[in-house]
Amino acid sequence: MKPFVYVTRKVPDEIYERLADKYNVEMWTEEDKAVPRSILLEKAAKADALLTVISDAVDEVLFSQAGQLKVVANMAVGFDNIDLEAASRHGVSICNTPDVLTDTTADLTFALLLATARRMMEAAEFVKDGEWTSWAPMMLVGTDVHHKKIGIVGMGKIGTAVAKRAAGFDMEILYHNRNRHEVAEEMLGAQYCTFDELLAEADFVVCLAPLNQDTRGLFQREHFQKMKNDAIFINASRGPIINEQALIEALTAGEIAAAGLDVFDKEPINADHPFLTMKNVVALPHIGSASKETRMAMMGTCCDNIEAVFEGRHPKTLVNKDVLQF
Ligand code: GLV
Ligand code: GLV
């Protein structure tokens, strides 16, 4: 019997066909809706492999009902939707898609920073609304990016790629991370600082840390209060790292100037979310890695990992390496 692979979102034909060539494949095909939990559990109960996305909760309940499951290929660099400890206990390999999305996500992060600083969304709306009647000295003026200080919280691969872009804009680069990043210090002149120093000094505070028990709720009201009043906050990693209510209050009170957000506490956000009424907030629908090339490469990595497990090899981007001991 061929292994059964369940794909939780509609993927392009060439990815589906690559899997269907070797395995029995079923896929959730509604384009604009995540697979309902009950269907995910029902399919997982029969599956040898799952190809999942970040909106799927892959937890103890799922693993305990999925007796044949060997591998979960999560189409993301983040894996906070997956209970890794439970996965290892149940002998399931968890794989992510690092590396292929690094530059693409750094591009989007920097674009979001530029768009927020230079009020590009507001300006585009202004033109569309027919409000552009003349050139005026202080019309839609934003703030400069070049030669300012960027403070990167989470200096992993994406953080380093953002630092590289910042260096091209002649920015001074501060970072805070669990570990020192000697390469970034030497190559880009990045300066390590404490979280509080970074908050106090940066003109742009950019969050690129992964979501885990150490980073959940990392940014509270007091942290926004420590930032400069004209600081701009950018988040392109995970919403729950921020206390969203605290950010709303800080923006409303003028404690920081603006925010560019690609991620939110609960996604998707509704049209009546307070952020969407604020002119100084640029909100994007979690599109950090969303280029055609990169999304295809991420799905390719998922297929590579599934194939590796069924062919008895170690998957290249295994996250829970302790599963090999079980
Ligand atoms: C997307 O957010 C990812 O983790 O790749
Ligand atoms: C603006 O368009 C300028 O020429 O300065």
pLDDT score for 31: 87
Per-residue pLDDT of 214-230, as tens digits, reads 999 999 999 999 999 99
Mean pLDDT of 19-27: 98
Q: Is CATH 3.40.50.10070 correct for 102-283?
A: no
Mean pLDDT of 132-153: 98
pLDDT score for 35: 97
pLDDT score for 32: 84
If phi > 0 it is left, if psi is from -120 to 50 it is alpha, else beta; for residue 144 that is beta
* Average pLDDT of the residues of the chain: 97
Residue of 221, 211, 204, 219 lying closest to 260 (CA atoms): 204
Which of 289, 291, 294, 298 has most ligand 1 atoms within 8 Å of CB, for mutation? Answer: 289
Fold classified for 4-98+292-325: Rossmann fold (3.40.50)
pLDDT score for 220: 98
**Is the separation of the CB atoms in 284 and 239 below 8 Å?**
no
Percent of the chain with pLDDT over 90: 98
Q: Where in the chain is the domain with CATH 3.40.50.720?
A: 4-98+292-325, 102-283
Q: How confident is the model at residue 326 (pLDDT cuts 50, 70, 90)?
A: low
CB atoms near residue 121 (< 10 Å)? 17
Q: How confident is the model at residue 324 (pLDDT cuts 50, 70, 90)?
A: confident
Per-residue pLDDT of 274-304, as tens digits, reads 999 999 999 999 999 999 999 999 999 999 9
Contacts of 198 (CB under 8 A, 6+ apart): 151, 153, 174, 175, 176, 205
Q: Looking at 14, 30, 222, 267, which residue is catalytic? A: 267
Per-residue pLDDT of 159-195, as tens digits, reads 999 999 999 999 999 999 999 999 999 999 999 999 9
Angstrom distances, CA of residue 31 to CA of 34, 188, 315:
8, 42, 28
Q: Looking at 18, 176, 181, 286, which residue is catalytic? A: 286
* Residue 74 pLDDT exceeds 70: yes
Whether 158 lines ligand 1, by a CB cut-off of 6 Å, is: no
